[in-house]
């Protein structure tokens, strides 16, 4: 029993990270119908931004909650800025062309960010400093939870509540919903769609960066290509939950995280080798797309022909 709980805690920890990143995918898709393939790399950029902040401001030497908050918020701000810059200089100029053009631009952007970081920081894995003392708490029996895991749960839940508040209870949130409903009509209603889109990118990038910094507290190895697989799985999570649907992204993230951990933990009992953890995420995606193409929480949109 305690082993199962332990595996569930492990799974939900990485699931929360997937959820944070999936939110960015889903929001951008909701508004632009664009899969922002560079989003996984923003997660990596966030981790590096946090790394530079933490080492340059001396938080690495003496861990404190204050240092962690500053690093987290700073990394989120930097990533938000980079997200907006990418939208402004890479996506906006090609937005008037076909969707495919933007999609290819996104793939190009992803590669550009990855190898720019390899060029600047080299591919050597860096060790992210521990910003708060990591303790272990025994829940019951053998099941333990570490400070970094609690941090991931608490911070990601707080951020998701904040996001929900922004989208449903603020003016800009209303504008976002309007743009996602119909971009051209929103424009006609006097909404500054360019600003709303930029804001959405900033929001999504900040969440991904938070995911990056939180992961780095849990698994302190950062390297320029860390966003590829994680980003891909977060994308799967977004599709699984129903792309464009915000609660769906969170649900999808947690499901993927739990599923891949449980496969490692119990897969061999039913004949799935533990190294198939990555394959499982994609197998789930295929199954869901076959049965419910709109995703778990996605609504079926009737297309007029």
Partner 1 sequence: MKNFFLAFSLIFSILLSSACVDKSANSGTATTGDGTGDIKVGVYGDLTGQTSSFGQSTINGIRLAVDEINAAGGVSGRKITLVSEDDQGRPEQATTVVQKLVNQDKVSAILGEVASTNSLAAAPVAQGARIPMITPSSTNPKVTEVGDYISRVCFIDPFQGSTMAKFAAKSLNAKTAAILGDVNSDYSKGLTQFFEQEFTKNGGQVVTKEAYTQNDPDFKAQLTKIRNLNPDVIYIPGYYGQVGIIARQARELGMNMPLLGGDGWDSPELWKLGGESLKNSYISNHYSAENPAPEIQNFVKAYQAKYNTVPDSLAALAYDAAKVLADAIRRAGGTDSAKLKDAINQTRDFKGVTGTITLDASRNAIKPAVVLELNPSASKFAFKETIYPEGMSAPTDATTSNTNMMMNTNQISNANMMNSNMTNSTQMNSNMTNSTSNINSTMNANR
> Residues near 289 by Cβ (< 8 Å), separated by ≥ 6?
239
Token pair in block for residue 280: 């499982």
- Residue 245 backbone phi and psi in degrees, to 5: -105, 120
Shortest CB 84 distance to partner 1, Å: 27
DSSP 125: P
Residue 220 interacts with partner 1 (CB under 8 A): yes or no: yes
Q: Let me know: does 138 contact 5? Beta carbons within 8 Å.
A: no
Q: What are phi and psi of 299, to 5 degrees?
A: -95, 145
293 is a contact residue toward partner 1 (CB under 8 A):
no
Report how far residue 176's alpha carbon sits from residue 160's, in angstroms, rounded to the nearest whole number: 16
Q: Which of residues 237-256 bind partner 1 (CB under 8 A)?
A: none
Count the Cβ atoms, other than its own, within 10 Å of residue 18.
29
Shortest gap between Cβ of 211 and partner 1 (angstroms)? Answer: 11
Longest Cα–Cα distance of the chain, Å, equals: 62
The nearest distance, CB 122 to partner 1, in angstroms, is: 5
d(CA 194, CA 176): 11
Of 87 and 260, which has the nearer Cβ to partner 1?
Answer: 260
CA distances (Å), 214 to each of 27, 105, 131, 137, 170, in order?
Answer: 21, 29, 10, 18, 27
Tokens found for residue 224: 């320029």
* Residue appearing with tokens 């029993």: 1
Residue indicated by tokens 């977004």: 238
Q: Is residue 260 within the footprint of partner 1 (CB under 8 A)?
A: yes
Is residue 223 a contact residue for partner 1 (CB under 8 A)?
yes
Subset of 126-165 contacting partner 1 (CB under 8 A) = 127, 130, 134, 136, 138, 142, 144, 146
Total number of residues binding partner 1 (CB under 8 A)?
40
Binding of partner 1 by 302 (CB under 8 A):
no
x/- map, 189-218, partner 1, by CB under 8 A: --------------------------x--x
As a whole number of angstroms, the distance between CA 112 and CA 38 comes to: 9
What string marks each residue from 98 to 127 as x (binds partner 1 by CB under 8 A) or -? --------------------x---xxxx-x
Q: Is 87 or 114 the residue whose CB approaches partner 1 more closely?
A: 114
Q: How far is the CB of 257 from partner 1 (least distance, A)?
A: 9
Least separation in angstroms between CB 285 and partner 1: 17
304: left (phi over 0), alpha (psi -120 to 50) or beta: beta
58 binds partner 1 (CB under 8 A): no
Sole window of 24-32, 164-172, 274-282, 286-294 interacting with partner 1 (rule: CB under 8 A): 274-282
Query: Which residue matches tokens 């039913």?
Result: 270
Q: For partner 1, give the closer residue by CB, 3 or 192.
A: 3
Site of interaction with partner 1 (CB under 8 A): 3, 6-7, 10-11, 13-14, 17, 118, 122-125, 127, 130, 134, 136, 138, 142, 144, 146, 215, 218-221, 223, 226, 228-230, 260-261, 264-265, 273-275, 277-278
């Amino acid at each position: 029993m305690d082993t199962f709980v332990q595996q569930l805690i492990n799974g939900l920890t990485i699931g929360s990270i997937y959820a944070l990143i999936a939110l960015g995918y889903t929001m951008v898709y909701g508004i632009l119908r664009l899969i922002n393939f560079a989003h996984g790399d923003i997660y990596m950029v966030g981790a590096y931004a946090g790394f530079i902040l933490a080492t340059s401001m001396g938080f690495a030497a003496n861990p404190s909650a204050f240092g962690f908050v500053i690093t987290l918020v700073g990394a989120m701000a930097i990533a938000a800025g980079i997200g907006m810059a990418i939208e402004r200089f890479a996506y906006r100029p090609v937005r008037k062309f076909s969707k495919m053009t933007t999609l290819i631009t996104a793939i190009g952007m992803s590669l550009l960010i990855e190898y720019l970081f390899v060029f600047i920081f080299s591919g050597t894995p860096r060790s992210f400093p521990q910003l708060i003392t990591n303790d272990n708490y025994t829940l019951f029996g053998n099941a333990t939870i570490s400070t970094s895991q609690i941090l991931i749960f608490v911070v990601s839940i707080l951020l998701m509540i904040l996001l929900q508040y922004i989208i449903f209870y603020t003016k800009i949130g209303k504008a976002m919903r309007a743009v996602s409903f119909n971009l051209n009509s929103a424009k006609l209603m006097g909404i500054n769609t360019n600003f709303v889109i930029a804001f959405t990118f900033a929001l999504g990038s900040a969440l991904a960066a938070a995911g990056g910094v939180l992961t780095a507290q849990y698994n302190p190895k950062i390297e320029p290509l860390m966003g590829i697989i994680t980003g891909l799985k977060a994308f799967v999570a977004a599709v699984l939950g129903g792309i464009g649907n915000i609660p769906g992204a969170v649900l999808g993230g947690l499901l993927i995280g739990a599923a891949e951990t449980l496969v490692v933990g119990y897969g061999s009992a039913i004949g799935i080798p533990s190294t198939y953890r990555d394959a499982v995420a994609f197998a789930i995606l295929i199954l869901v797309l076959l049965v419910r193409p709109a995703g778990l929480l996605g609504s079926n949109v009737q297309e007029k022909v």
